[in-house]
Every structure is written in C-alpha cells, then in structure tokens.
Amino acid sequence: MNDMNQVWLIGRLTRDAETPSGDRGPVKLSLAVNRRVKKGGEWGNGADFIDIEYWHRSLLPNLTKGKQVAIVAELKQDRWEQDGQNRSRLVVVARDLQLLGGGQSGSGTVGLPSNEATNIQADGGFPDDIPF
C-alpha cells in the first residue's frame, strides 16, 4: 500500500507574501480558511489561519492580502530540541498554488492581460453585445 501526504486548501491570503532576505528560503504565506462552527447550539462561521511555505517565486507579485488562492500541499514535520525537550510541529509546504480571484471585491480579473480583463463583468458574465 502506498502512503499519501496531500492537503488541498482554498482560502484568502491574510497578508502580503513575505520573502526572506536574499533568494534563499521559502516564501511565507498565511491563509484564512472559512468553516462552519457550532456556537452554543447555533451554527456560525469561523476561520482557521494556516501558515504556509511556498518555494516558487513566479507568482510573488500577485500574492497580496485578500487574494483567493487554491493550494495543493504536503505536511512536513520539523523536529528540534529546546531546553532538553524534543519539540516538533507540522509545516504546510505548498507544491502548487493557483490564483482563483481578485482581492476582497472578487472581480475575477487576476492574471488576465488588461485588454481581456475589461471584457469580463464584475459578476463573472460577459457584455450583452456578444454577436452570438
């Protein structure tokens, strides 16, 4: 039997991507993922905040606060010793990241050249004057 270590997340970035000084190390992202929670007998909305390491820099200019992204990742366990105690934590390491929409407004134009972006309406529809 083969083991699997894969995590899928869709959420919004809580801050602009952080890069370490120089070209070494991963890009640091923080993702807010909404979920339903039960509070005192009633259902409401909650959020989990997840720190993510991402090793590719090609999307860096677009990784800004409020952007919705989909991430395929794996979990990695970091281990170290501190004050004579063994410590560990799980780290989410993104393998693939895809931009899903705009910022808070959700305009849906991220990644499109400016001449194409103007042809898409804010509601995701197309202009009424399409000839078909």
Residues 79 and 127 placed together within one structural domain of the fold: no
Q: In this predicted model, what pLDDT tens digit does every residue of 1-29 receive, in sequence order? A: 789 999 999 999 999 998 877 667 889 99
51 and 89 Cβ atoms separated by less than 8 Å: no
**Rounded CA gap, 92 and 50, in Å?**
8
Write down how long the chain is.
132
In this prediction, residue 13 carries a pLDDT of 95
Q: In this predicted model, what pLDDT tens digit does every residue of 93-122 receive, in sequence order? A: 999 999 997 555 443 333 333 333 333 334
Residues 92 and 51 placed together within one structural domain of the fold: yes
66 and 107 Cβ atoms separated by less than 8 Å: no
26 and 53 Cβ atoms separated by less than 8 Å: yes
Residues 86 and 111 placed together within one structural domain of the fold: no
Average pLDDT score over the chain: 79
In this prediction, residue 52 carries a pLDDT of 95
CATH number for position 92: 2.40.50.140
What domain range is 125 assigned to? 105-132
